[in-house]
Amino acid sequence: MLARKPTSKSPGNHRNSPSPLGRYAREEIARTRSRTDTVIGRPEPSTEDLHDLHRHLRRLRILVRWWSRTGPRPRREELRILAGRVRHLTRLAGSVRDLDVELDLWEGLVGPDRAKATDPWATFGRHLRDSARTGRELLRAALRAEEAAGIFEELEASLRGIGSVARLVALTQELKRERRRLAIAASKARRRALKSPLPERMHALRIRVRQLRYLTDLEDALSGARASTFPPRYARLQRRLGELHDRDVLAEQLARLDPERAVPAWRTRFDRERETLRQELVSEIRELRPRRNLTRRRGPEIVVPRPVRRTSGRSAISP
- Alpha carbons within 13 angstroms on the beta-carbon side of residue 312 total 0
Where helices occur in the chain by DSSP H, the ranges are 20-41, 47-70, 76-110, 120-148, 151-158, 165-195, 199-223, 232-255, 265-286, 290-294
Q: Say yes or no to pLDDT of 162 above 80.
A: no
Q: Say yes or no to pLDDT of 7 above 60.
A: no
**206 vs 210: CA distance, rounded Å:** 6
Give me the torsion for CA of 88, 143, 71, 184, rounded to 10°.
40
pLDDT tier, 314 (very low <50, low <70, confident <90, very high otherwise): very low
The more confidently predicted of residues 234 and 110 is 234
Smallest CA-to-CA distance from 18 within 163, 172, 224 is with 163
Q: Is 45 helix (H, G, I), strand (E, B) or coil?
A: coil
Smallest CA-to-CA distance from 171 within 22, 315, 3 is with 22
Q: What is the mean pLDDT of the chain?
A: 84
Q: Compute φ and ψ for 315, nearest 5 degrees.
A: -95, 140
Fold (topology level) of 164-256+264-297: Four Helix Bundle (Hemerythrin (Met), subunit A) (1.20.120)
Q: Would you state the pLDDT for residue 15?
A: 44
Q: Where are the domains of the chain?
A: 19-163, 164-256+264-297
| Among the ranges given (4-18, 83-97, 155-169, 243-257), the one the predictor scored with the smallest mean pLDDT | 4-18
Q: Would you state the pLDDT for residue 5?
A: 41
| Among the ranges given (154-168, 186-200, 239-253, 272-286), the one the predictor scored with the smallest mean pLDDT | 154-168
Beta bridge partners of 315: 310
Q: In the predicted model, what is the mean pLDDT of residues 208-213?
A: 96
Structure confidence by residue, pLDDT tens digits, 243-295: 999 999 999 988 887 666 667 888 889 999 999 999 999 999 999 998 888 88
pLDDT tier, 112 (very low <50, low <70, confident <90, very high otherwise): low
Alpha-carbon dihedral sign for residues 19, 21, 24, 30? negative
The more confidently predicted of residues 45 and 261 is 45
Q: Is 212:179 a contact under the CB 8 Å cutoff?
A: yes
Q: Say yes or no to pLDDT of 149 above 60.
A: yes
Q: Would you state the pLDDT for residue 181?
A: 95
Q: In the predicted model, what is the mean pLDDT of residues 46-52?
A: 93
Q: Say yes or no to pLDDT of 224 above 60.
A: yes
Please spell the DSSP secondary structure of 275-291, one letter per residue: HHHHHHHHHHHHT--HH
**154 vs 70: CA distance, rounded Å:** 18
Q: In the predicted model, what is the mean pLDDT of residues 129-143?
A: 94
The more confidently predicted of residues 110 and 148 is 148
Core vs surface per residue 234-257: b (16+ CB within 10 A) or e:
beebbeebbebbbbbbbbeebeee
Structure confidence by residue, pLDDT tens digits, 8-27: 343 333 344 467 888 889 99
| Among the ranges given (60-64, 107-111, 132-136, 162-166), the one the predictor scored with the smallest mean pLDDT | 162-166
Q: Say yes or no to pLDDT of 34 above 90.
A: yes
Q: Would you state the pLDDT for residue 134?
A: 94
Element (H, E) at 315: strand 314-317
Q: In the predicted model, what is the mean pLDDT of residues 151-174?
A: 83
